[in-house]
Amino acid sequence: MKTLFRSGLMVLLMISKLMVKAQVPILSSYPSASATIFLDFDGQTVTGTSWNFNGPFVCGASGLNNTQITEVFNRVAEDYRPFSVNVTTDSTKYLAAPANKRIRIILTISSAWYGSAGGVSFVGSFTWGDDTPGFVFSALLNYNSKYVAEAASHEAGHTLGLFHQSFFDMNCVKTSEYNAGQGNGETGWAPIMGVSYYKNVTTWHNGPNSYGCNIFQNDMALIIANNGLSYRTDDYANTLNTANSLSFSNNQFQLSGLIEQTTDLDIFKFTMPSKHLFHLDVNPYSVGTSDAGSNIDLQVTLYNNSQTVLQVYNPSNSLNAVIDTTLNAGIYFLRIESTGNQYLPGYASLGSYSMQADLPASLTSRRLELHGILNDDKHQFDWLIDADEQVTQQILEISTDDKAFSPVTEPLNNARSFIYKPYVTAAAQYRLNVTFNNGRQFYSNIVTLHQTSAVPRPHLVSNLIYTNNISVTSPGHYTYTIYDFTGKTIIKGQLTNGLNNVSAGGIPNSMYVIRFASGTEQWTDKFVRE
């Protein structure tokens, strides 16, 4: 019995276009492979197949321009990169392939013969040998290159024997025919056989299919087992002792590679001629900015000549990996591998990558961003640090003339937010001063916040005290008194204008009250010594 599956993305707004048949770019992902997925963009008359129960019918061209066609091809090619299969736009490659190892996916504006869906195909038709095609309906996908590509990979997946990756609740009740994935942004993920239109990273999956919460579908294993395919041949050495050697030319080296299985490691050896700054970018294949269309989250490990790990580079909020460091003269090793993240399962984090190294004159932090807003009478900050080195110190600094900056607080090294009541009455400029464990120091962008109408008074910088200093901002000269919760006076002293550090070295860990006074005015705050 032949099983029919369609992918359902309904588009409420249809776009009318004048379709002109044009020359489709000739593209192939793996020309030496006999197994073939043919993306047919220029129209096709369908006859003599399992679809033709009412006779032949004509499918118009896709309505996509060559730029869009190229993007669709590249996205689909990357989805199938781990396998010994050629994704192509070349009809001659399709016709030359064995009849039981090929599929034509027709990308067309013509859908009236079938109905409303993103695409449709027969499960397992890749091996039927009768040229039964699958379809993607470009007009119903609003001629969106991303959507068309996702539907093409999805429908080709059906022809390779896959059913939908579905979602079930804890009671084993199907809540969605299509698993929609999780997360957002660059690392947001969804399975190809779920609904993958709306996530950046889309991969194969090992999860419950549409026939039951306990029926797990191992997409990659089935693609290989059902269709006589294999994984691509490994391209680089997998051990430190057999590492491929790289040489600098004009202070640079570069290459491209493929992680075709999660067990695959690509290991390289290089020599630093002298002590120097070293920069390395390892980027997943993408079709645009922010790693658009990438399928792999990369991790890089740096070893010294003794094969001791120096550092692992795997930023949590991006798919690429970057090394910025100083290396002494000597031999080093690089290990490139795939990994998962908070959204992307490691199961099929696979794909191609490029690697570029150079010896720059200086290094810069990749990303150090400070954000600030007014919250009533408080200034509220959060920041992003994207760097492979560990933060050893970070200082939030303030200026009222945009020239001379002074410290406001020194947050813990893992802190990424801070709120306080400023002592300044005019507009204030803020920046973050960050030092890393290799000694490098960077400043963030400057954020300007205007003071509210709140009455100036002393304030604790933080109500949680971890060090031997209690930081207090003050708009002038005030007295302070610290009491324990029995009312006993612990410390007394004077504050001056600006940031004050009150010694807390002799104060036991507990909760306290601090009272500020000037004339007849008094204010109190609470803090905890930990």
Please provide residue 271's backbone torsions phi and psi, each rounded to the nearest 5 degrees: -120, 125
Contacts of 500 by beta carbon, 8 Å cutoff, 6+ apart: 471, 472, 473, 474
Backbone angles phi, psi at 525, to 5 degrees: -130, 160
Phi, psi of 55 (to 5 degrees): 95, 180
457-530 CATH = 2.60.40.1930
Burial code (b: 16+ CB inside 10 Å, e: under 16) for 321-355 equals bbbbbebeeeebbbbbbbbbbebbbebbbbbbbeb
Average confidence (pLDDT) over 95-106: 98
The phi and psi torsions of 72 (rounded to 5 degrees) equal: -60, -50
Which of 10-24, 45-59, 344-358 is predicted least confidently? 10-24
Looking at residue 49, its pLDDT comes to 94
CA triplet 6, 7, 11: central angle to 5 degrees? 120
**Residues in contact with 509: Cβ distance below 8 Å, sequence separation at least 6, in sequence order:** 529, 530
Intrachain domains 1-231 and 244-358 with the same fold: no
Q: How confident is the model at residue 255 (pLDDT cuts 50, 70, 90)?
A: very high
Say how far apart CA 205 and CA 194 lie, in whole Å.
9
The topology under which CATH files domain 1-231 is Collagenase (Catalytic Domain) (3.40.390)
pLDDT band per the 50, 70, 90 thresholds, residue 17: very low
Domain borders along the chain are: 1-231, 244-358, 364-455, 457-530
Closest CA to 292 of 164, 179, 145: 145
pLDDT at 454: 53
At 436 the three-state DSSP class reads strand
25-34, 132-141, 311-320: the lowest-pLDDT one: 311-320
SS3 content of the chain, % helix, strand, coil (to 5): 10, 40, 50
Q: Which residues contact 448 (CB under 8 A, 6 or more apart)?
A: 402, 427, 428, 429, 430
Query: Which of 47-61, 122-136, 393-407, 498-512 has the highest average model confidence (pLDDT)?
Result: 122-136
Question: Any idea what DSSP says for residue 456?
Answer: P
- Smallest CA-to-CA distance from 105 within 53, 162, 59, 143 is with 59
Give yes or no for a contact between 145 and 68, defined as CB atoms under 8 angstroms apart.
Answer: yes
Residue 97 tokens, joined: 């392939």
Check residue 61 and report its DSSP letter. -
- Angle at which helix 66-79 crosses helix 145-159, to 10 degrees, equals 40
Q: DSSP secondary-structure letter at 507?
A: P
Identify the weakest region by mean pLDDT among 105-109, 111-115, 310-314.
111-115
Average pLDDT over residues 401-421: 86
Q: Please report the pLDDT score of residue 20 as a whole number.
A: 40
Q: How far apart are CA 174 and CA 207, in angstroms?
A: 13
Residue 431, token pair as written in the block: 């920046």
Phi, psi for 477 (deg, rounded to 5): -90, 120
Q: Where are the alpha helices (DSSP H) in 13-131?
A: 66-79, 91-96
The pLDDT assigned to 282 comes to 96
Hey, what are 379's tokens? 């200034």
Tokens of 374: 């007014």
Chain segment 433-474, per-residue pLDDT in tens: 998 887 777 888 888 887 654 567 888 888 778 788 898 988
Gyration radius from the chain CA atoms: 30
Long-range CB contacts (< 8 A, 24+ apart) of 217-223?
217/162, 217/163, 217/165, 217/193, 219/157, 219/162, 219/165, 219/191, 219/192, 219/193, 219/348, 220/82, 220/347, 220/348, 222/160, 222/161, 222/162, 223/83, 223/157, 223/160, 223/161, 223/162
Q: Which two tokens stand for residue 359?
A: 């010896």
Please name the residues in contact with 407: beta carbons below 8 A apart, sequence gap of 6 or more.
395, 396, 397, 398, 499
| Least confident range of 220-229, 250-259, 308-317, 476-485 | 476-485
Q: Tell me how far apart the alpha carbons of residues 284 and 294 are, in angstroms, rounded to a whole number.
A: 6
Pick the CATH number of 244-358 from 3.50.50.60, 2.60.120.380, 3.30.1330.30, 2.60.40.10: 2.60.120.380
**Rounded-to-10 torsion of CA 334, 339, 342, 347:** 180
Question: Over the stretch 416-439, which tens digit does the pLDDT of each residue have?
Answer: 999 987 866 667 889 999 988 877
What b/e string do you get for 31-42 counting C-beta neighbours within 10 Å, with b at 16 or more? eebbbbbbbbbb
pLDDT tens digits for range 225-250: 999 999 999 999 999 999 999 999 99
Q: Which residues of 250-286 are buried (b: 16+ CB within 10 A; e: fewer)?
A: eeebebebbbbebebbbbbbbebeeeeebbbbbbbbb
CATH tag, 364-455 = 2.60.40.10
Cα 130 from chain centre:
41
